[in-house]
Structure 1
Amino acid sequence: MMLIVTHVFKPLNLGTLYNDKFHRYKLRLAAMKKANKLSDTDLCVMCGMCLPQCPTYQLYQTETESPRGRVALMQAINQQKININSKALLHIDHCLGCLNCETICPSRVPYGQLIDEFRNQYNQSVRKPWLTKLILKQAAKPDGLHALTSIINKPVLKQLIKLGSTFTDLPKNTLTVEPTHLKSFYAGTYNSQEECRGEVSLFTGCIGKSSDYRSIKDATFILNQLGFDVNIPEQQTCCGAMHQHNGQLETAKTLLNKNRAQLEQQKSSVILFFSPACGASLKQAENIAIKDARTFILEALRHQPLNFSTQKQPVALHESCSHRNMLRLKTLNTELLNCIPGIQIIESSDPSLCCGAGGLQSINYPQQAQALLQGKLKSFDLMQTNIFISDNIGCSLHIKTAITGYNPDIKVMHPISYLASQLISNEKK
């Protein structure tokens, strides 16, 4: 007896089958990408070339405070080989994001991206000081930090911050502000008295109005002297760098998009920025002609030289990690300062050493930041000069907290401000 089994097949729809498989493939791929955002840690071959370049490794002299050690910790946590604990997270969060390691890495490990992504994934597990949270919240608002500094200038809150710093070891003058003339000089268009060569816009960011006002004013003055009209757009927001490096990647992306939308509306041929940290962030935006203000001024001076007074006193030059390792404008500061006749530049004996500011790291880990700053300041001979040039606002604010201990008369200035101070002009301030 033969048993006959019959199968009834439905008509095969190849299009549906393909779409269904493709949909499942996309879901699996998306899941893999989400799970493997830290997969680039596998690029690290643990050679150890990064160790001598890392400021926190030099400070702590422990493997877990090095790029190689942090990569190993990120791998172990991501692969669930070790439990997430505050000590492991602290070692990773100590990173300043200076990216010295990336400049020496033979395997091209994207260390900065890995640190940012890890902080983003484990943001809720890392405790931040209340002041950091407040700054990040305010910086995300248009003109938010200026409003915050206006509040902080009130005597009652100053005393509370002073009291809080007693318990948290916050460096003094963490939020140094320069409120002078802010109402009379900020947003608007400043026309050149010379034959107009074009119009540029200035990106001042979230803190420029409050703490980098002098650089804005001096850049406008020099650009006007070179024949450029200067537009300073209203309602500028943070570039997003602080949020990106503090585990808030979505907020950073939102701020970048807001700035891009606003800057795209400008009629100017180019957008100029002051802070290398802001510039590195803004360069991620597409369809915007963005340029370092120092580069633009230097190129303009080569075509139309201005007269600068001869300088006999040397000046000390600090170059930020974002300038050296993100923008990689190796000789820009020295070339700009060399426009001044007779200039003598005092350089650091350890130029790659981070000053410890690290964006908000001077607030997150003030003892670490101050220890690194002391090492940085000691690398200069500051008895020869009363002028200290710093190209990044975050570094400048941090340096101001301790530099008078080496020379009580010293001034910290942006290179553009120092250039403006030496410019010979009938309209000079």
Structure 2
Amino acid sequence: MPLAVLADQCVQCGLCLPVCPTYALDGNEAESPRGRIAIAAALARGQVSPNAELREPLDHCLGCLSCERVCPAGVKYEALLVETRSLLGPAPERPTALLEVVKRPRLNLWAQRLVRWTGVWRWLGHALPGAWREALALAPGKPHELHHVHGKPKQPRPGPPPPSRKGKKVGTVALFPGCVASIYDAEAERATEMLLVAAGYQVTHLPAFCCGALDSHDGASREADAAAAHVRQAWANAKADHLVTVTPGCLSTLRKALPEVRVDDPYRLLAERIDTLAFHPYPRQLALHVPCTQANVARSDAALLKLLRRIPQLELKRLPAPPYCCGAAGSHLLQFPERAAQLRESVLAHITTLDVQGLLSSNIGCRLHLAAGLKEHASALPTLHPLTLLAQQWIPS
């Protein structure tokens, strides 16, 4: 759909303003969805020329899509944002070299190992560009683990449980590892496979690569198109019924690449088979952070809560909804670290008021960003993917 047509869908009612994190941060109309739509419309019609002042509010947008969820006119804000950024092209300050490392799992893994083995960040960190320093700060150290509370701690499993002979198989699920998640959420991906097999699904794996979300949301349309072609080829080879990812930040891009395929996070599939799963009690209080993409794109927060509430004695304290956003937003935390830190502080302030023993969050970018903020506050509060907790407490049948 042409950009001008997308912009014309907006009726300028302003209902998006109260849920916009950047409008709450700046109190500036240009930093609101309504303001950005007006800028996009003017650019599309040639009424203004692209310049740094005009593109700054567009670059600041987190793409959280809280505005799209509450819009009474059905404005396709994500499509509008992606089209406008594609028109402008990547921001001059975009850390392209760093993102090339981030998008390539093997290269990313070797870079992380080099940093850990040599301790290069200790003497080189202050000399690096800001985005590289932020990336080093996000690299997780030794994790603080959530305590097991049902007898002895479980030992790491060598793989998923064998397929159950009980009942009929309900379909084949292809698991998409992504790029960053394939490294930092490998445990959650193993947990997902374990739970899906226990629920009666067969599981296959796509190779680890970037889905194109980072490029698409940064205006690098040629690279995003190449990634989409990679997704389609990998899916064609998978011979599966559904595609899932443990990182909700990938969902929108995967759905765009595969419009005829059911692409989801695992919670809906597991919730549909919830009667096949049982869990050990977990008498603890945990904070639950629902990433913007899970609430507004996957819209699977109800399924997530249904599964977590299946764990006896677990008490969840959900963090507030929009306009609160942690500020991670793909590469936003690398390009605009000060703004990302300000947004994160609002979320951390809520966490500190809660009497909890851990923090759950489904999106790897959000979880690394929040963990780095907790570390800055000298907090040892552990963070975990909800699927890892579910697998930890799962009772094999």
When normalised by structure 1's length, the TM-score is: 0.79
Cα offset for 1:40? 2.0
Q: How many residues align?
A: 380
Question: Which 5+ residue runs of structure 1 have no aligned equivalent?
Answer: 1-32, 180-184
Task: Determine the structure 2 residue equivalent to 1:254.
Answer: 226
| Match for residue 137 of structure 2 among 165, 173, 176 | 173
| Match for residue 195 of structure 1 among 138, 157, 165 | 165
Residue type at the aligned position of 1:170? E
Deviation string, structure 1 residues 38-83 (Cα, Å, up to 9, x no partner)? 4421222322221111100100111111111112222333334334
Task: Determine the structure 2 residue equivalent to 1:282.
Answer: 254
Task: Determine the structure 2 residue equivalent to 1:335.
Answer: 306
Cα offset for 1:416? 0.6
- Counterparts of residues 117-132 of structure 1 (less than 5 Å): 117-124=83-90, 126-130=91-95
User: CA distance change for structure 1 residues 75 and 268 in 2, over 3 Å: closer, same or farther?
Assistant: closer
Task: Determine the structure 2 residue equivalent to 1:113.
Answer: 79
When normalised by structure 2's length, the TM-score is: 0.85
Cα offset for 1:215? 0.4
RMSD value over aligned CA atoms? 3.0
| Rounded Cα–Cα distance in structure 2 between residues aligned with 1:264 and 1:250 | 22
- Does 1:322 pair with 2:293? yes
| Rounded Cα–Cα distance in structure 2 between residues aligned with 1:404 and 1:104 | 34
| Match for residue 121 of structure 2 among 155, 158, 161 | 158
User: CA distance change for structure 1 residues 201 and 104 in 2, over 3 Å: closer, same or farther?
Assistant: closer
* 3-state DSSP of counterpart to 2:313: coil
| Rounded Cα–Cα distance in structure 2 between residues aligned with 1:80 and 1:288 | 37
- Does 1:367 pair with 2:338? yes
Larger radius of gyration: 1
| Rounded Cα–Cα distance in structure 1 between residues aligned with 2:194 and 2:22 | 40
* 3-state DSSP of counterpart to 2:359: strand
Aligned residues: percent identity? 26
**Does the 8 A contact of 2:277 with 2:395 survive in 1?**
no
Deviation string, structure 1 residues 207-236 (Cα, Å, up to 9, x no partner)? 222111110122233334445554334x43
Cα offset for 1:115? 1.3
- Does 1:420 pair with 2:383? no
Residue type at the aligned position of 2:92? R
- Counterparts of residues 189-338 of structure 1 (less than 5 Å): 192=162, 194-195=164-165, 198=169, 199-226=172-199, 228-233=201-206, 235-284=207-256, 285-302=258-275, 304-306=276-278, 308-338=279-309
Cα offset for 1:322? 0.7
User: CA distance change for structure 1 residues 353 and 177 in 2, over 3 Å: closer, same or farther?
Assistant: same
| Rounded Cα–Cα distance in structure 2 between residues aligned with 1:177 and 1:44 | 45
Cα offset for 1:142? 7.0
Cα offset for 1:364? 0.8
| Rounded Cα–Cα distance in structure 2 between residues aligned with 1:350 and 1:190 | 34
**Does the 8 A contact of 1:189 with 1:230 survive in 2?**
no
Task: Determine the structure 2 residue equivalent to 1:54.
Answer: 20
| Rounded Cα–Cα distance in structure 2 between residues aligned with 1:294 and 1:81 | 45
Residue type at the aligned position of 2:24? Q
Residue type at the aligned position of 1:106? P
User: CA distance change for structure 1 residues 382 and 220 in 2, over 3 Å: closer, same or farther?
Assistant: farther
| Rounded Cα–Cα distance in structure 2 between residues aligned with 1:193 and 1:178 | 33
Task: Determine the structure 2 residue equivalent to 1:13.
Answer: none
Cα offset for 1:134? 2.3
* 3-state DSSP of counterpart to 2:174: strand
| Rounded Cα–Cα distance in structure 2 between residues aligned with 1:328 and 1:193 | 29
Cα offset for 1:206? 1.2
User: CA distance change for structure 1 residues 152 and 128 in 2, over 3 Å: closer, same or farther?
Assistant: farther
Cα offset for 1:297? 2.3
Residue type at the aligned position of 1:295? R
| Match for residue 317 of structure 2 among 327, 339, 346 | 346
| Rounded Cα–Cα distance in structure 2 between residues aligned with 1:60 and 1:162 | 29
| Rounded Cα–Cα distance in structure 2 between residues aligned with 1:287 and 1:355 | 32
| Rounded Cα–Cα distance in structure 1 between residues aligned with 2:131 and 2:76 | 36
Task: Determine the structure 1 residue equivalent to 2:148.
Answer: none
User: CA distance change for structure 1 residues 152 and 288 in 2, over 3 Å: closer, same or farther?
Assistant: farther
| Match for residue 368 of structure 2 among 387, 392, 397 | 397
Deviation string, structure 1 residues 64-119 (Cα, Å, up to 9, x no partner)? 11111112222333334334321221122100001111122222222211111111
